[in-house]
Amino acid sequence: MKRTTAFLTITAMTVGLVYSLPAWAEEPSQGKDAIAIYFLYSENTEDKDHPDAVSSATPYTNLEISDLEVMTDILKEELEAAGRTLDTYPIIVNEKYDADFDVMVEPARTDITEDREFTFEGELPDLEGYTDIYFGVPVWWGTYPQPVKSFLKQDGVDFSGKTVHFYNTHLGSRLGDMVNQMGTLAPEAVIADDPFVLSADQDIREDDSAFREWIQNQ
């Protein structure tokens, strides 16, 4: 009799364990969902308020914050309105660029051709547990700003299995070769096939409806 009770108890515990496992296992680890990883010229100069740094190659616009920063704020607002969460990680290097576009534009190109390695302020993000990466990158010289490429090569920065949603700003080159290069830099990332590209003649502050619609469709 005792043995039967023990058997039933163990069976009940086992069944309970088996049934409880999937739900338990499905919980998102550490409550992570999506992360925006983005690169701002203004965060990567010694003079964040310099007009060139906040409007990149469009200094005549004399903006207060860059388009990509505006877009990242909208992204957070839209995802949270949809009941999701968005963590953010700005890529900030220790080796800052000059804030003056005319001074930094050539060194920024040399960094790309020489495949310069950068070091990063603070801890690199722990990407485990995120399903989606919103990747905000301006095109520089037809490709990634070299700090972004260097970031992608860091040990521990692993985009494998994540869905990568590019959102980008440009003056005509759109994403340049960034999607192709991702095939080499993070071959196991899943690239969402409808990146959002914002050209300099589109004013995101005047009309953000297309960007909001894009977020809602991701």
Residue from 51, 90, 125, 138 binding ligand FMN (CB under 6 A):
138
Q: Six-digit token pair at 25? A: 């296992």
By CB under 6 A, residue 59 contacts ligand FMN: no
> CA 142 to CA 147: how far, in whole Å?
14
Q: Which residue among 45, 72, 150, 169 contacts ligand FMN (CB under 6 A)?
A: 169
Joined together, the tokens standing for residue 80 give 């949270």
Q: Which of 44, 45, 55, 218 binds ligand FMN (CB under 6 A)?
A: 55
Q: Which is nearer to ligand FMN, 74 or 105 (CB)?
A: 105
Should residue 139 be labelled a site residue for ligand FMN when binding is judged by CB under 6 A? yes
Cα–Cα distance for residue pair 148/172, rounded to 1 Å: 20
Residue closer to ligand FMN by CB (options 16, 172) is 172
- Element of type H or E holding 35: strand 34-39
Q: Whole-angstrom Cα distance, residue 182 to residue 200?
A: 24
**Site membership for ligand FMN, residue 37 (CB under 6 A):** no
Q: Which residues pair with 88 in a beta bridge?
A: 36
Under the rule (CB under 6 A), what is the footprint of ligand FMN? Answer: 41, 55-58, 66-68, 101, 105, 108, 138-142, 169-173
